Chain A
């Protein structure tokens, strides 16, 4: 019984981390109908931002290890990741939806910087490469070549895969391919409640996740922006006709989702401190499974799905074989979709002819 309770707590804290990532997937899917594969790498980015901020000399000297410092590190990483999410939306997804400028300049600038790094290995080379790329991009755009307006969701999906590959490999260039160890921004201790042995890190993960989810719920259900988000997700064209600035709402959704993913990244790094640029791949995939499980596009569903998944995984590992750990999520998914093809909280889709 004690082991079961212990596992239950492990499962819930693991599951709440999945739920945090799943929320970003489900929100983006809600507004755009897009599986944002890059989301898992935003999670990785968040963990790395947390790592760099927490290891920053100034931050360490001024703040040390305190709860306040931990909160600050987390907020800063969330803000940076939100920025990354908004950038991704602006330069990768929006150009196929509405007429935007400087798309080519942005990507060629990065490409130029990468080439500059490759050939000269110096900051000047990177800068020159980036400037050349941007100039070429601007010139081509002035010549009248613009991204094509697309209605194919598959092309958008390939773009998402492309951005994900870009972030993973760019991460290996920028952060180094070998794993790093996330600093203990909150000292770990164990609490004994009766015969139960509780790790404070796990409780913190749980607590922070709950706070963030409550905040998200308030945001979506009780603010004007939240109302707009729901409207966009319900019907984007009608929302536009009602005077909602849909592009801004979509960018905002990406920002919120990415911030939550970053929070998830930092919380998971508290439990498993090894971080590397490919760390997002599996958790991201499982979080997406959680989102589908709960009924994609549904915020409560993502939370429920995340919890179910975390719980199933911890139980399977605790009582079964740990080598099948990565398959558990998918087996649960297949089983649930066989009986409820729209996910647990999903609405049954009605076919209209």
Chain B
């Protein structure tokens, strides 16, 4: 009951904000808010592998790309037939159906990609895993670069523009991502993930099927990256393989580490902070990234545990509750 009320209020609030936000802050900041939302989904999902399961993946951009391209091609090539099936709906409803189908397809495709990458690579440890996930991410990008149906190196530009209800959709999926990941972390699965992070051998000795749980965490994380990709592709209505290089994965890693690895609040904070810093100072061109990189080095030297670090408000509370019971 409480949960239903929460979601109802959230949906109403988002619809209301969607109506007004553009007028309040103007198109430029509206775009930044949407990008921040997409990065929150990416960062929170990457945090599940890197921060909570302790597996070091730097190939997240690959799954982001799989989602973006799957959804964009489904909607581009299936637009007329899907619209035909839901003809009775108004335009905005048809767009919603298209977007949701795209998101579903993106999540499934990215999940399958995650499974295909995860099974062979999660036998590796530490830096070997890191470089293999990075490699898979790059392989995915090069493959997309060579598929002509999605525009190849020219970029995918014929994606139909959906009516702009994106603030609502992006932040609805931010809420869904955060609550799903939080629930996963708090479930028995989550405890298995954390046990793998803290001590893989001990976890295995206690009967945790480490390979299965690592792959599972990888697949869940990839699915949400796919969802973020789908939202990104339909929002910009243009995709280019260059948006999905390993540099993108690096930025995601930076977000979760600056926020505080393993903390969901930290990932959200990191995603918002880094998106803002990178987007707001875009006019400064190279100066922006020089300043950004120096600040990054200094944050890591003076506060290596990230901004949130151990001060994870909600987790702290839960832990004390768990200790009492």
**B-binding residues in A (CB < 8 A):** 29, 35, 92, 95-96, 103-104, 107, 110-111, 114-115, 117-118, 145, 147-148, 150, 152, 154-156, 158-159, 161-166, 168-170, 172-173, 177, 285, 288-289, 292, 296, 321, 323-324, 326-327, 329-331, 333-334, 337-338, 341-343, 349, 351, 353
Structural contact, A165 and B142, CB atoms closer than 8 A = no
CB neighbours of B258 from chain A (8 A): 158
Our pick among A147, A169, A331 for the contact of B293 (Cβ within 8 Å) is: A169
Task: Tell whether A341 pairs with B128 under 8 Å between CB atoms, given A158-B296, A161-B254, A173-B290.
Answer: yes
Q: 0/1 per residue, B120-146, Cβ < 8 Å to A?
A: 110111011011101110110011011
Instruction: Name B126's closest neighbour in chain A (CB-CB).
Output: A153
Name the segment of B66-74, B224-232, B300-308 touching the other chain.
B300-308
Structural contact, B286 and A169, CB atoms closer than 8 A = yes
B297 to chain A, nearest CB (A): 4
Q: Which 6 A-B pairs have the closest CB atoms?
A: A330-B135, A155-B304, A166-B293, A327-B142, A165-B293, A162-B296
CB neighbours of B143 from chain A (8 A): 327
A205 to chain B, nearest CB (A): 25
**Complex: how many Å from CA A166 to CA B124?**
30
B119 to chain A, nearest CB (A): 10
Structural contact, B250 and A145, CB atoms closer than 8 A = no
Residue contacts A-B, CB under 8 angstroms, 16 given? A92-B297, A104-B298, A148-B304, A154-B56, A154-B257, A156-B300, A161-B253, A173-B290, A177-B286, A289-B131, A292-B127, A292-B131, A333-B132, A333-B135, A334-B135, A334-B139
Structural contact, B300 and A169, CB atoms closer than 8 A = no
Q: 0/1 per residue, B21-34, Cβ < 8 Å to A?
A: 00000000000000
Structural contact, B300 and A158, CB atoms closer than 8 A = yes
**Complex: how many Å from CA A169 to CA B247?**
13
Our pick among B246, B257, B286 for the contact of A173 (Cβ within 8 Å) is: B286
Task: Tell whether A96 pairs with B301 under 8 Å between CB atoms, given A158-B254, A169-B293, A341-B123.
Answer: yes
A79 to chain B, nearest CB (A): 25
CB neighbours of B127 from chain A (8 A): 29, 35, 292, 296
**Complex: how many Å from CA A168 to CA B298?**
17
Our pick among A114, A152, A327 for the contact of B291 (Cβ within 8 Å) is: A114
B210 to chain A, nearest CB (A): 12
**Complex: how many Å from CA A29 to CA B261?**
23
Task: Tell whether A145 pairs with B145 under 8 Å between CB atoms, given A107-B297, A154-B257, A161-B250.
Answer: no
CB neighbours of B284 from chain A (8 A): 118
Instruction: Name B301's closest neighbour in chain A (CB-CB).
Output: A147
CB neighbours of A173 from chain B (8 A): 286-287, 290
Query: Does B1 reach chain A (CB closer than 8 Å)?
Result: no
CB neighbours of A165 from chain B (8 A): 289, 292-293, 296
**Complex: how many Å from CA A77 to CA B154?**
38
Instruction: Name A35's closest neighbour in chain B (CB-CB).
Output: B127
Structural contact, A289 and B301, CB atoms closer than 8 A = no
**Complex: how many Å from CA A353 to CA B246?**
35
Q: 0/1 per residue, B226-270, Cβ < 8 Å to A?
A: 000000000000000000001000100110011001000000000
Query: Does B201 reach chain A (CB closer than 8 Å)?
Result: yes
**Complex: how many Å from CA A111 to CA B293?**
10
**A-binding residues in B (CB < 8 A):** 56, 120-121, 123-125, 127-128, 130-132, 134-136, 138-139, 142-143, 145-146, 201, 246, 250, 253-254, 257-258, 261, 284, 286-287, 289-298, 300-305
CB neighbours of A152 from chain B (8 A): 304-305
CB neighbours of A288 from chain B (8 A): 131
Structural contact, A162 and B142, CB atoms closer than 8 A = no
Our pick among A118, A159, A161, A337 for the contact of B301 (Cβ within 8 Å) is: A159
Structural contact, A148 and B124, CB atoms closer than 8 A = no
Structural contact, B298 and A337, CB atoms closer than 8 A = no
Instruction: Name A149's closest neighbour in chain B (CB-CB).
Output: B304
Structural contact, B132 and A337, CB atoms closer than 8 A = yes
B56 to chain A, nearest CB (A): 7
Our pick among A118, A323, A341, A342 for the contact of B287 (Cβ within 8 Å) is: A118
Our pick among A107, A148, A324 for the contact of B142 (Cβ within 8 Å) is: A324
B41 to chain A, nearest CB (A): 21
Structural contact, A330 and B292, CB atoms closer than 8 A = no
A117 to chain B, nearest CB (A): 8
A297 to chain B, nearest CB (A): 10
Structural contact, A162 and B293, CB atoms closer than 8 A = yes
Our pick among A177, A341, A351 for the contact of B201 (Cβ within 8 Å) is: A351
Our pick among B121, B128, B201, B300 for the contact of A155 (Cβ within 8 Å) is: B300
Structural contact, A107 and B146, CB atoms closer than 8 A = no
Structural contact, B294 and A110, CB atoms closer than 8 A = yes
Structural contact, A111 and B294, CB atoms closer than 8 A = yes
Instruction: Name A154's closest neighbour in chain B (CB-CB).
Output: B257
Structural contact, A35 and B130, CB atoms closer than 8 A = yes
**Complex: how many Å from CA A300 to CA B286?**
38
Structural contact, B257 and A114, CB atoms closer than 8 A = no
**Complex: how many Å from CA A341 to CA B128?**
8
**Which of B56, B121, B294, B300: most chain A Cβ within 10 A?**
B300
**Complex: how many Å from CA A323 to CA B141?**
12
**Complex: how many Å from CA A23 to CA B201?**
32
Instruction: Name B245's closest neighbour in chain A (CB-CB).
Output: A281
Task: Tell whether A96 pairs with B131 under 8 Å between CB atoms, given A118-B287, A159-B297, A166-B290.
Answer: no
Structural contact, B301 and A148, CB atoms closer than 8 A = yes
CB neighbours of A145 from chain B (8 A): 302
**Complex: how many Å from CA A351 to CA B296?**
34
Structural contact, B146 and A166, CB atoms closer than 8 A = no
**Complex: how many Å from CA A321 to CA B143?**
12
**Complex: how many Å from CA A111 to CA B302?**
16
CB neighbours of B124 from chain A (8 A): 337, 341
**Complex: how many Å from CA A115 to CA B284?**
11
CB neighbours of A337 from chain B (8 A): 121, 124, 128, 132
